[in-house]
Chain A
Amino acid sequence: MTARQHQQRFETLLHEHRRIVFKVAGLYSRSAADREDLVQEICVQSWRSFGRYDEGQAKFSTWLYRIALNVAISQARRWPDADRCEPLDTHHLETIGGEAIAEPDERLAALHAFIGQLDRLNRALILLYLEDRSYVEMAEILGISETNVATKISRIKQKLRGQMTAAKTTGA
């Protein structure tokens, strides 16, 4: 394969899976400028690693998720307030939502509020869950066992249920 063909193959695959890049960038950025930087950084890092990509070993989506999450988490750690997880804000709603949202859907707001309180690693887990990835793929991407993935998801569900119940009680 010539260098040009290699690059074209990468561009095609990246284009097909661009949602992964955008969603990860949207979830780990603090502003629109951050998001653009992250998108570029993920693309650059993917291109660097593409020479070693082996489709027999992993699906392109699995491979891209690993790179995108690794870049995003590392980038987020470099911020001065790295130990504090940034709550998702309006720009995230604009980023991930469709058209600009004047009055955000209640459920959408609840979803973002929930993701916003998670730490960086759990945020990665929940992103993969919401993206409907299988437990096997989630385990491959994160580097933990399938059982561990299942346990974590179950705990997050419990936590969410607890929060919803508390919110209802407070509301009532």
Chain B
Amino acid sequence: MELDEMKQVWASMNLRQDGMEALLRQDFRDRRMDKARSAMRWGLLWQAVEIACWLAFVVFVASFWVAHRHVTHLLVIGLLLHVYGIAGIWSSVTQLFLLSRIYLFDAPVLVLQRRLTQLRRFRMVGTLALGLPWWFLWLLVPLVFLTWSSGVDMFAGASGWIWASMAVGAAGIGFSLWLARRLAGRPIKSPWLQRMVDDMSGCTLARVSRQLNEIARFERE
């Protein structure tokens, strides 16, 4: 059968629309369409709130290290958190920008699919880059808050314990990555955990790269 003949077969088919017609009408009756629009506005608002929180964090950390610039370890911790905060702002702003390019879904198929895949890749890398440092930050952030609010320098009093915790943190990062690789490919009940394992084991990155290649191949060939 030739492709043109297939066109005739296709044209001769009628859709079974029962049920689907009702679905279209039901959406408006149930006000689902309005809810979808308001969910989109809330999504963008949430991103804006996230950026505002990161900005507040950076301002706070900057004022902290400036005030403690004469104490080396507090200056270093403050600067590290400052860099982390700037990375957070960059990640949120980039995500907002990438989201704004796709959220209407009305771009040509290849353009939108490429943007969508780029957003997925950015989100995955961003989540890992901002998430894994919490093996250290769970200690450093309270330490900074404690020093700022009470003036007590915990690091000076218990530096041995803090360094030991940092070492545990470093081991924790290695263990998380090892565990994710071990669990990769196995079915996990929780979708949230499954996504985390896929992200950390590199499965998501591999999948996203394959999808980008597929788009490039389609464009090229």
Interface residues of A (CB under 8 A from B): 7, 11, 14-15, 18-19, 21-23, 25-26, 35-36, 39-40, 43-45, 47-49, 52-53, 63, 66-67, 69-71, 73-74, 77, 82-83, 94-100, 105, 107-108, 110-111, 114, 119-122, 124, 129-132, 140-144, 148, 151-153, 155-157, 160-161, 164
Instruction: Assess the B13–A160 pair: CB atoms within 8 A.
Output: no
- Chain B residues with Cβ under 8 A from A49's Cβ? 104-106
- Given A22-B20, A77-B211, check contact A130 B6 (CB 8 Å): yes
B residues near A (Cβ < 8 Å) are 1-3, 5-7, 9-11, 13-17, 19-21, 23-24, 27-28, 32-33, 36-37, 40, 103-113, 116, 207, 210-211, 214-215, 218-219, 221
Pick from A19, A26, A69: contact of B109, CB below 8 A.
A69
Chain A residues positioned under 8 Å from B23 (CB to CB): 36, 39-40, 43
Q: Given A132-B7, A148-B219: A107 and B1 within 8 A (CB)?
A: yes
30 contacts between A and B (CB under 8 A): A7-B28, A19-B15, A21-B20, A21-B24, A22-B15, A26-B15, A36-B20, A39-B20, A47-B27, A52-B104, A66-B107, A66-B112, A69-B109, A70-B106, A74-B116, A83-B210, A95-B15, A96-B15, A98-B16, A105-B9, A107-B5, A114-B6, A122-B218, A130-B6, A130-B10, A132-B11, A141-B109, A144-B218, A151-B221, A160-B2
Complex CA gap A73/B215 in Å reads 12
Q: Which residues of A contact B27 (CB under 8 A)?
A: 40, 43-44, 47
Chain A residues, CB < 8 A from B10:
111, 130-131
**Structural contact, A18 and B40, CB atoms closer than 8 A:** no
Contact A142 B214, beta carbon cutoff 8 Å: no
Measured CB to CB, the closest approach of chain A to B125, in angstroms, equals 18
Number of A-B contacts (CB under 8 A): 158
A144 to B219, CA, bound (A): 7
Q: Which 3 pairs between the two chains have the least Cβ-Cβ distance?
A: A143-B108, A143-B110, A130-B10
Closest Cβ of chain B to A164, distance in Å, is 6
Instruction: Among B6, B28, B214, find the residue whose CB has the most chain A CB atoms closer than 10 A.
Output: B6
- Chain A residues positioned under 8 Å from B214 (CB to CB): 119-121
* Contact status B24-A121, CB under 8 Å: no
Extra contacts besides A47-B37, A122-B218, A152-B221 (15): CB < 8 Å:
A7-B28, A18-B20, A22-B15, A44-B32, A66-B107, A77-B211, A95-B15, A96-B15, A107-B5, A132-B11, A142-B108, A143-B111, A144-B219, A155-B221, A160-B2
Contacts of B112 in A (CB 8 A): 66, 70, 143
Q: A66–B6 contact, CB under 8 A? A: no
Contacts of A26 in B (CB 8 A): 15
